Chain A
Amino acid sequence: MSERVRVTSPRTTSGRRLPPPSAAHEIDAQSQVGEVYLRSLLRAQLRLAVVVVTLLAVLVGGLPLAFWLLPEVMDQEVLGMPLAWGLLGFLVYPVLVAIGWWYVRAAERNERAFTDVVERP
């Protein structure tokens, strides 16, 4: 003899929703959604790197052209030395550090934004 069991639907009036798959899971599954997440991070970081390369190419890589095209300007004395010496011997280093410092901050900001999106509950 079997017990009487009452069978009911788990559905309540509101209807329960399944949690959406997490972004990390989408990335792991290499789904189209995961691809969008990954590509957005890659694009953001690559854009940043391209900005650094461009800044370097213009500010430092432009110097030989400036020396060639504007020899009179480069012969000007600043602080007792020719301008070209001041630029290449001293000023260029703080510029490189400033670009690097800006890059590190921006790259970490990109990664924080990505982490926030992917880890969102």
Chain B
Amino acid sequence: MSHTFGAVAVLVVSVLTVGIGIWGLRFSRTTSDFFVASRTVRPALNASAIGGEYLSAASFLGVAGLVLAFGADMLWYPVGWTAGYLLLLALVAAPLRRSGAYTLPDFAQARLRSRPVRIITSALVVAIGWLYLIPQLKGAGFTLNLATGLDNRLGGLVVALVVLVNVVTGGMRSVTFVQAFQYWLKLTALLVPAVFLLLVWFGDGATSPADPMFDLPGQSGWADPLSGLGPHPIYTTYSIVIATFLGTMGLPHVVVRFYTNPDGRAARRTTLVVLVLLGIFYVLPPVYGALGRIYAGDLVAEGRADSVVIQLPLRMIGGTGGELLAALLVAGAFAAFLSTSSGLTIAVAGVLSQDVMSRWLGGIASFRVSAALAVSVAYVLAVLAEDVGVATAVGLAFAVAASTFCPLLVLGIWWRRLTDVGAIAGLVVGGVTSGAAVLRTFVATEDEGWYSTLMAQPAAWTVPLAFAAMVVGSLLTPDRRSPHATRFMVRLHTPEAVTVDRG
């Protein structure tokens, strides 16, 4: 595509992002503004911000690429990423807000009153945050390369710097405005070109993308939902379902957002609006994937299926019109990297600043240094892990979150008999098994065997194992139940309108 249009798109999004961030800075004065926007964000704005933060490179570019290459099975990813919010709504949203903690480690400590549990959850937040940041920075590098001809690594560096400026200047309050803007930018950037592409497709006779004549050599059953997932499709499908449905609630940048709601009822309503916003957005990427099968099937063989979203307007419309639509898509993709990376950086920096930096620095200074540290380490890791696919890394981050924070949150909120020993047992079992699967997938090659399948999609066995370890560990140590557990349950579940002692 034209590098001028691409560069202008990237520049405009960067300037708008930093500009809105600086504008938001006028409202961001205290430490509480920095971490949780002083808990005054209304549901409609907060939901747009959550949507903006959540819809990452994997959603904007990755889903279309996966659908193009592997077919109907890949629709489970957007479905799971949305359904995760329904489970978050039913199991976690209101109590988590009412817990009154800043971060996941704060929640764990308030519930279990245990220093070791806090240290383990902090380490996990940082690990999952970095695991999720790697694909964002890699995807950004590759998109910048396509749009402007910039070297991959340099592109990642540009994103890392814009994210850092964005986070360091404004903190949570200003990022809320930026993220909300970015949801609507992403939706527009995907919706407008889709309308034009569908018109062209109708003009061309509206051939069904499911037609086998579009099968690539060696491919069959593209439209069949159990054909693109390797040798054990039922196991793999359910493992993806479990990882995405349960992993959403355990992603550090998602959880942090719930503390910015004014109360528990607002937290629920916010989550419901998020479900609507995600449902609208996720209808679109598969449309690009399906059209790509007719107009851009060759991208799969070249290993560049991820670029199908940006390539389609260039191929189907062409000329200046096609270039402009492609530039709009580049802008949307770049907004996706920026918003998700900013949210992750805030989550990781929040934990680093509270648990590590606060020994030497106070308040906002500690947060800023931590943000710089969070972004630089993620960038170095992204350069080192050059060969890992964007979708693979994102999928594994969900599996680790589902195997660790999901049991901690669900049992911590609904089960009074959870103990610190049980929590540690579950976090260690879930973290070690899913972490081992991540490392194995990063270094080993895929084969047809069951072992490889179990390691590539570990959630179906690591999540039940983590739950079991947490329950058994708690039942074996009844004398370690927190004496404050009942008071904490009162706090989590009673509506704010009732005047009771919340501990």
Decide if the interface of chain A is mainly helix, strand, loop or mixed: helix
**Residues in A44-88 with C-beta less than 8 Å from chain B:** 45-46, 48-49, 52-53, 56, 60-61, 63-65, 67-68, 71, 74-75, 80-82, 84-85, 88
Distance in Å from the Cβ of B491 to the closest Cβ of chain A? 11
- If A30-B486, A38-B490, A111-B495 touch, whether A88 touches B275 (CB-CB below 8 Å) is no
| B residues near A63, Cβ cutoff 8 Å | 225
Decide yes or no whether A99 CB sits under 8 A from chain B. Answer: yes
Distance in Å from the Cβ of B483 to the closest Cβ of chain A? 10
Asked if residues A114 and B495 are in contact (CB atoms below 8 Å), the reply is yes
| A residues near B365, Cβ cutoff 8 Å | none
| B residues near A28, Cβ cutoff 8 Å | 500-501
Distance in Å from the Cβ of B202 to the closest Cβ of chain A? 11
| A residues near B85, Cβ cutoff 8 Å | 100
Asked if residues A88 and B91 are in contact (CB atoms below 8 Å), the reply is no
| A residues near B500, Cβ cutoff 8 Å | 24, 27-28, 118
Decide yes or no whether A94 CB sits under 8 A from chain B. Answer: yes
| A residues near B414, Cβ cutoff 8 Å | 42, 46, 49
| B residues near A61, Cβ cutoff 8 Å | 238, 241
How many Å lie between the Cα of A14 and that of B128 in the bound state? 69
How many Å lie between the Cα of A97 and that of B224 in the bound state? 26
Distance in Å from the Cβ of B490 to the closest Cβ of chain A? 6
| B residues near A24, Cβ cutoff 8 Å | 498-500
| A residues near B283, Cβ cutoff 8 Å | 89-90, 93
Decide yes or no whether A3 CB sits under 8 A from chain B. Answer: no
How many Å lie between the Cα of A71 and that of B83 in the bound state? 24
How many Å lie between the Cα of A41 and that of B498 in the bound state? 13
How many Å lie between the Cα of A67 and that of B233 in the bound state? 11
Distance in Å from the Cβ of B273 to the closest Cβ of chain A? 10
Asked if residues B208 and A84 are in contact (CB atoms below 8 Å), the reply is no
One of B71-79, B344-352, B385-393 contacting the partner: B71-79
Distance in Å from the Cβ of A4 to the closest Cβ of chain B? 47
Set B75, B238, B272, B286: member contacting A100, Cβ < 8 A:
B272
One of B263-271, B327-335, B434-442, B463-471 contacting the partner: B263-271
Set A82, A88, A100, A112: member contacting B79, Cβ < 8 A:
A88
B220-239 vs A, CB cutoff 8 Å, 1 = contact: the mask equals 00011110000000100110
How many Å lie between the Cα of A24 and that of B501 in the bound state? 8
Asked if residues B90 and A49 are in contact (CB atoms below 8 Å), the reply is yes
CB nearest neighbor in A for B276: A97
How many Å lie between the Cα of A85 and that of B487 in the bound state? 48
Asked if residues A56 and B86 are in contact (CB atoms below 8 Å), the reply is yes
| B residues near A119, Cβ cutoff 8 Å | 497-498
Asked if residues A27 and B86 are in contact (CB atoms below 8 Å), the reply is no
Decide yes or no whether A104 CB sits under 8 A from chain B. Answer: yes
Asked if residues A27 and B241 are in contact (CB atoms below 8 Å), the reply is no
Decide yes or no whether B279 CB sits under 8 A from chain A. Answer: yes
- If A27-B500, A97-B275, A114-B495 touch, whether A82 touches B210 (CB-CB below 8 Å) is yes
How many Å lie between the Cα of A115 and that of B264 in the bound state? 14
Decide yes or no whether B70 CB sits under 8 A from chain A. Answer: no
Asked if residues A96 and B241 are in contact (CB atoms below 8 Å), the reply is no
- If A82-B210, A82-B223, A84-B225 touch, whether A107 touches B497 (CB-CB below 8 Å) is no
**Residues in B177-226 with C-beta less than 8 Å from chain A:** 206, 208, 210, 223-226
Asked if residues A56 and B245 are in contact (CB atoms below 8 Å), the reply is yes
How many Å lie between the Cα of A89 and that of B281 in the bound state? 11
CB nearest neighbor in B for A50: B90
Asked if residues B269 and A52 are in contact (CB atoms below 8 Å), the reply is no
Asked if residues B72 and A42 are in contact (CB atoms below 8 Å), the reply is no
- If A56-B245, A93-B283, A96-B279 touch, whether A84 touches B86 (CB-CB below 8 Å) is no
Decide yes or no whether A33 CB sits under 8 A from chain B. Answer: no
Distance in Å from the Cβ of A46 to the closest Cβ of chain B? 6
Interface-centre pick from B86, B89, B268 (highest chain A CB count, 10 A): B86
| B residues near A56, Cβ cutoff 8 Å | 83, 86-87, 245
| A residues near B94, Cβ cutoff 8 Å | 107
Asked if residues B89 and A81 are in contact (CB atoms below 8 Å), the reply is no
- If A64-B226, A100-B272, A101-B272 touch, whether A42 touches B486 (CB-CB below 8 Å) is no
How many Å lie between the Cα of A35 and that of B224 in the bound state? 53
How many Å lie between the Cα of A74 and that of B223 in the bound state? 10
Decide yes or no whether B14 CB sits under 8 A from chain A. Answer: no
Distance in Å from the Cβ of A71 to the closest Cβ of chain B? 8
Asked if residues B275 and A103 are in contact (CB atoms below 8 Å), the reply is no
Asked if residues B87 and A80 are in contact (CB atoms below 8 Å), the reply is no
Asked if residues B90 and A103 are in contact (CB atoms below 8 Å), the reply is yes
How many Å lie between the Cα of A11 and that of B406 in the bound state? 60
CB nearest neighbor in B for A48: B90
How many Å lie between the Cα of A61 and that of B83 in the bound state? 10
Distance in Å from the Cβ of B31 to the closest Cβ of chain A? 31
B478-502 vs A, CB cutoff 8 Å, 1 = contact: the mask equals 0000000011011001110111110
A-B contact pairs, 15 of them (CB 8 A): A27-B501, A53-B87, A53-B90, A53-B91, A56-B83, A75-B224, A82-B210, A85-B72, A88-B72, A88-B76, A88-B79, A93-B283, A96-B86, A101-B272, A108-B268
Besides A96-B83, A107-B94, A114-B494, 19 new A-B residue pairs in contact (Cβ under 8 A), listed by A number: A35-B486, A42-B414, A46-B414, A49-B414, A53-B91, A56-B245, A60-B83, A64-B237, A67-B225, A68-B234, A81-B208, A88-B225, A89-B75, A93-B278, A93-B279, A101-B272, A103-B90, A104-B89, A119-B497
Tell me the B residues contacting A by CB distance below 8 Å.
72, 75-76, 79, 82-83, 85-87, 89-91, 94, 206, 208, 210, 223-226, 234, 237-238, 241, 245, 265, 268-269, 271-272, 275-276, 278-280, 282-283, 286, 414, 486-487, 489-490, 493-495, 497-501
